[in-house]
Amino acid sequence: MTPSIQVIEPKKLIGISQSMNLVNNKTAMLWQTFMPKRHQITNAIGSHLISMQIYSNEHFVAFNPHNEFTKWSCLEVSGFDVIPSGMHTYILPAGKYAVFNYKGLASNAAPFFNFIFTEWIPNSVYELDNRPHFEILGEKYSNTSPESEEEVWIPIKDKN
């Protein structure tokens, strides 16, 4: 499993967010709230959904499934001129990412992420960077299909 390495410019996002952890995972509730309202975002760039996670500096240093993080359900937008009621803005900072393709159900993704964080990153010329992680949920994404596909973007930087 070899990722592509991508460098992105800042991205403007509009969506909703929720604090959670892996033990008390509120992802389904977050998306159930966002999806009926996503069409209120009138200046979306494309139709791809973005699932984003913002972790603390220590989140992966001493990993614990009780560690809190903020999860977003959002869309990339051309600007912040119109922000639907109950939604918020976020500017995803520029940076380098390792982009992996994941195929399968989200409930089966633990070995995939374990490989990234315990094998690929430690054995690469990169280290984890403290920026948001995100997934692009495109045309081949379906949260109920084992044939579902998504792009997983992991923030990286060159090892010192």
Mean pLDDT rounded to a whole number for the chain: 94
Q: Tell me the pLDDT tens digit for each residue of 55-84.
A: 998 888 877 889 999 999 999 999 999 999
Cα–chain-centroid distance for residue 31? Answer: 13
Torsion of CA 35, 40, 43, 45, to 10 degrees: 10
73 and 16 in contact (C-beta within 8 Å)?
yes
pLDDT in the model for residue 140:
92
What residue spans define the domains of the chain? 4-158
Instruction: Residues 4-158: name the CATH superfamily.
Output: Regulatory factor, effector binding domain (3.20.80.10)
Alpha-carbon distance of 18 to 92, in angstroms, equals 17
Q: Are 50 and 135 in contact (CB under 8 A)?
A: yes
Percent over 70 (pLDDT), the chain: 100
Residue 115 to residue 96: CA distance in whole angstroms: 19
Distance CA(59)–CA(97), nearest Å, equals: 18
**Pairwise CA distance, residues 112 & 102, whole Å:** 8
pLDDT tops 90 at residue 35: yes
Task: Pick the more confident residue, 158 or 63.
Answer: 158
Q: Per-residue pLDDT tens for 84-127? A: 999 999 999 999 999 999 999 888 888 999 999 999 999 999 99
Q: What would the mean pLDDT of 126-154 be, rounded to a whole number? A: 94
